[in-house]
Amino acid sequence: MSESLLTEDEGVKTLLAYIYSGSAIGPVGDKGVGYSLLKSSPASFSWSAAIEDFDGSDTPVDRYLIKIDRRTKKISTPEPIVLSENELADVILPATGQRLSSWTRFTDGSMSTSYKVTVKEDPDVAYVVQIRHYGSVASMDSFMTLISRTISPNVLPVPPNLVHQSATGMGRQITRYIPGQVVLQIYAGLSHKERLIFVRKLALAFSACWEIQLPEPRLIGELIASNIDGQITLRVGPDRHHGLGGPFHSVCDYLRAYIKCCLVLLEKQEGIEEYKEKYLQRIRSFVDTRLHEIPAVVETVPIVAMHADMGPHNIIVSNQTPTEIQAIIDWEFLESAPYASLCREMEMFFRKIAPNGFGPEYERADELREAFWSSIPNWKRWNESEATQTFLEWFRFGLFMKPEYRPKELSDEERDKFWAENIRVVEGMFDKYSPELNEASDA
């Protein structure tokens, strides 16, 4: 009998057990483990892994390459994912024609290791060199070039970009350093008037991306850009952001795959046994029996090009004028998808950050939403349409069926609120499309 190979799910469990042992890349303590799959082959998995402070620390983290043999389950000795001074010099010279002067570790994204460097020829210019652990650097570069050629930088600014693709599969991306501050760090402290100004500009940036011409027929999946002799073309491949597969030819098929994927994530989520005991089996029954009832009207929701992670953590604004967008960064997650699937990212500008992923609304949040959508009237009409509202009903079911881990030390009132939106969305779907599931629970 042939020996079974480690599956990806088993690989994740093996990786996390190894890191949480504390002997792999350091003690975890009260922090979390961030990881991404770099490469999968019949022989092995290669992972990027780090111990991270998910509460928002700006301190760069040490990331490691860890390989797991799929047949023997043997784990390689972790190798730091870093660039030496000589390697940085070798990256900068061919990309810029300039020589390295100084360098320092820079704030990382969740999928990158970053350095800020200066050059001898022009000390007033700085660059950011990133080892990208996810996505195609060449595709990101091509898409950013397309934006810079076709969209005003006053509407959708991207960092001037230079690219060097590593032979190892981890792309090295070089962009001009954009001075400023990340919106995530300052947004809660802005006045209501400043937020109104900012969300109007943000709406134009979203809209500009959504208006980029996609190939016909419009498919749903990962958006891949290629630059061939200066001509940039777009194509759509299988979805990797959520691991849905595809590409999908219909919105209904996409929603079904998305909801099934969310159910798998719910089944894997640990530390929510009380929620699972009450809802998991009913959610399974709903997914097994009701997904064919997704109304056909969702097929009219526009499928658009999008930066699928365009939240406040990926937007840089001016140090002097925090309502001025300087750059939108980290274009790893490029998608061709229904525009309304960005609802979570857009809500980040109307709600405060919270451990449960659904924070309280900012004061006068209704005015913020109105300012956003009124700045893009055509999309406002779509947002108010039956097609979009129906799409959001089913998409939010997937989004909220899995709650976040609920800390045990919460007060009774905090515990009741923590999963309130998850419960409201799930029970609302049961009541509308499968009331017998809630009736069985009441019995």
What tens digit of pLDDT does each residue of 108-146 get?
666 788 899 999 999 899 999 988 877 788 899 999 999
> What is the reported pLDDT for 249?
97
CATH number at residue 97: 3.30.200.20
Distance CA 339, CA 345 (A): 11
Q: Of 11-15, 33-37, 79-83, which gets the smallest average pLDDT?
A: 33-37
Structure tokens at 248: 């999908």
β-strands 325-328, 303-307 pairing: unpaired
CATH classification at residue 418: 3.90.1200
Q: Within 13 Å of residue 163, how many CA atoms lie on the same side as its CB?
A: 18
CA–CA gap between residue 255 and residue 261 (Å, rounded)? 10
The verdict on residue 2 lying in a domain is no
Is 26 part of a structural domain of the chain? yes
Q: For residue 260, tell me if it sits in a domain.
A: yes
The DSSP-derived string for 242-289 is S--B--BSSHHHHHHHHHHHHHHHHHH--S-HHHHHHHHHHHHHHHHH
Are residues 83 and 52 in contact, defined by beta-carbon separation less than 8 angstroms? Answer: no
Across 2-62, where does the E strand assignment appear?
A: 32-40, 44-52
Q: Are residues 347 and 421 in the same domain?
A: yes
Q: Say yes or no to pLDDT of 149 above 90.
A: yes
Half-sphere exposure of 116 (CA within 13 A, CB side): 13
More confident residue, 265 or 167: 265
Residue 3 lies in a domain: no
Concatenating the DSSP letter of every residue in 292-352 gives GGS-GGGGGSPEEEEETT-SGGGEEE-SS-TTSEEEE-----EEEEEGGGGHHHHHTTTB-
Note whether 169 and 193 are same-domain residues. no
Sign, CA torsion 338/370/417/438: negative
Query: Would you place residue 1 in the very low, low, confident or very high pLDDT band (cuts 50, 70, 90)?
Result: very low
Question: Is 80 exceeded by the pLDDT of residue 58?
Answer: no
In a domain, 398, yes or no: yes
CB-neighbour burial class of residue 64 (10 A; exposed 0-12, middle 13-18, buried 19+):
buried
Are residue 75 and residue 89 in the same domain, yes or no?
Answer: no
The whole-angstrom separation of Cα 178 and Cα 109 is: 15
- Chain segment 334-352, per-residue pLDDT in tens: 999 999 999 999 999 999 9
Q: Which residue has the tokens 């999968």?
A: 40
With tokens 């969300």, the residue in question is 199
Task: Return the bridge partners of 35, or none.
Answer: 49
Number of residues assigned to the chain: 443
Do 128 and 259 reside in the same domain of the chain? no
Are residues 92 and 136 both part of a single domain?
A: yes
Q: What pLDDT band is residue 320 in, cutting at 50, 70 and 90?
A: very high
Q: Does residue 59 carry a pLDDT above 80? A: no
Task: For residues 16 and 93, state if they share a domain.
Answer: no
Render pLDDT for 216-272 as a digit per residue (tens, 0 to 9).
999 999 999 999 998 999 999 999 888 899 999 999 999 999 999 999 999 988 889
Position 209 pLDDT exceeds 90: yes
3-class DSSP state of 26: coil
Is residue 222 domain-shared with residue 103, that is, in the same domain?
no
Within-domain flag for 384: yes
Average pLDDT value for residue range 88-94: 90
Q: What is the pLDDT of residue 166?
A: 55
Tell me the pLDDT band of 436, cut-offs 50, 70 and 90: confident
Mean pLDDT of the chain: 91
Q: Examine the fold and report which residue of 57, 79, 101 is the final residue of a domain before the chain moves on.
A: 79
pLDDT digits (tens, 9 = 90+) for 362-420: 999 999 999 999 999 999 999 999 999 999 999 999 999 999 999 888 999 999 999 99
- For residue 439, the model assigns a pLDDT of 66
Q: How far is CA 212 from the centre of its chain?
A: 20
200/295 same-domain check: yes
Q: Which residues form the domain of 336?
A: 185-442
409 and 300 fall within a common domain: yes
Domain closes at, from 79, 102, 137: 79
1 inside domain: no
Domain count, the chain: 3
Do residue 70 and residue 157 come from a single domain?
Answer: no
Residues of the chain above pLDDT 90, percent: 71
What residue has token string 């091509």? 142
Whether 167 has a pLDDT exceeding 50, the answer reads: no
Are residues 92 and 166 located together in one domain of the fold?
A: yes
- Do residues 246 and 238 lie in contact, with contact meaning Cβ atoms separated by under 8 Å? yes
Distance from C-alpha of 166 to C-alpha of 168, rounded to nearest angstrom = 5
Say how far apart CA 131 and CA 141 lie, in whole Å. 14
Last residue of a domain, one of 26, 51, 79: 79
Pairing verdict, β 221-228 and 334-338: antiparallel
Torsion-angle region of residue 37: left (phi > 0), alpha (psi -120 to 50) or beta? beta
What proportions of the chain, in percent to the nearest 5, are helix, strand and coil?
Answer: 40, 25, 35
pLDDT number for residue 266: 96
Q: What is the pLDDT of residue 54?
A: 58
Q: pLDDT at position 11, please?
A: 92
Q: What percent of the chain has pLDDT over 70?
A: 95
